[in-house]
């Protein structure tokens, strides 16, 4: 038995997320079906995390176990020839038999893109959140920096029941203005709660609009209480950027 590690890029627009669902296409299902065609054996592909419907990945990490004698490069080429154009295998390599992309991960980094201008983009319509209102980047950065360190993020959890604890450690945050009126928010953590990044971004946008202050953001974080200002950002702007081991 061999363990093959994959690094995958995908546009999540046409998928109901990573994990297999009873109805509707998912990235995991498409990959498993392609592998079954290649190896003539049923394959189980495990990912580093379950991206939601419409969320993208720059470098999702996954693995599968196989008795096939194909090389990692052959797997990469064969999969890319069968997969739809919105899923691409960037890397394939042999891994230790006990490697698991989720349980062995030390941290993950998510990227969220905001398009801050008064007109939409034909090319970025499914890859950024269009906000026509003026945003105060300085105040948003002040609020974002409050996320650093270990906190109870229950105010930014879509569901508290799916996690043993809502405490997470944030290792890094950044919020920068890029070209073409794009803001890019990045957050690295040892773990994320369901919906956490999108809820954080939604609250940061409220800071940027002047609806709440950075101190209000701090109080929300420390109290753990969801308020009307903690609103989920759309999935289209979110990317799983990196997984570290």
Q: What angle do CA 61, 65, 67 make, to 5 degrees?
A: 145
As given in the structure block, the two tokens for residue 107 are 């941290």
- What phi, psi does 72 have (nearest 5°)? -55, -40
In degrees to the nearest 10, what's the CA dihedral of 60, 234, 237, 199? -70
Contact 31, 79 (CB under 8 A): yes
Active site residue 52: yes
Helix axes 137-145, 214-223, angle to 10 degrees: 30
Q: Out of 11, 52, 86, 216, which one is annotated catalytic?
A: 52
DSSP 123-149: SSTTTSEE--S---HHHHHHHHHTT-E
Residue 109: Cβ within 10 Å count: 19
Active-site residues, by number, are 52
């Amino acid at each position: 038995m061999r363990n093959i590690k994959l690094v995958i890029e995908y546009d999540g627009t046409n998928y109901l997320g990573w994990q297999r669902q009873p109805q509707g296409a998912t990235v995991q299902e498409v990959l498993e079906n392609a592998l079954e065609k290649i190896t003539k054996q049923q394959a189980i592909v495990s990912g580093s995390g379950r991206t939601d419907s419409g969320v993208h990945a720059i470098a999702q990490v996954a693995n599968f176990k196989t008795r096939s004698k194909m090389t990692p490069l052959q797997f990469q080429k064969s999969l890319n020839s069968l997969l739809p154009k919105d899923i691409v295998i960037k890397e394939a390599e042999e891994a230790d038999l006990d490697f698991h992309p989720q349980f062995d991960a030390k941290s993950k980094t998510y990227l969220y893109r905001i398009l801050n201008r008064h007109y939409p983009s034909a090319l970025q319509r499914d890859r950024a959140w269009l906000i026509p209102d003026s945003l105060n980047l300085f105040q948003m950065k002040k609020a974002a920096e409050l996320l650093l360190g270990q906190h109870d993020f229950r105010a930014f959890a879509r569901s508290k029941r799916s996690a043993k604890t809502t405490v997470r450690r944030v290792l890094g945050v950044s919020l920068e203005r890029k070209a073409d009126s794009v803001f890019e928010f990045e957050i690295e953590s040892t773990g994320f709660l369901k919906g956490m990044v999108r809820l954080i971004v939604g609250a940061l946008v409220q800071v940027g609009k002047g609806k709440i202050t950075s101190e209000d953001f701090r109080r929300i974080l420390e109290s753990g209480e969801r308020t009307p200002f903690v609103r989920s950002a759309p999935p289209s702007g979110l990317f799983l950027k990196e997984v570290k081991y």
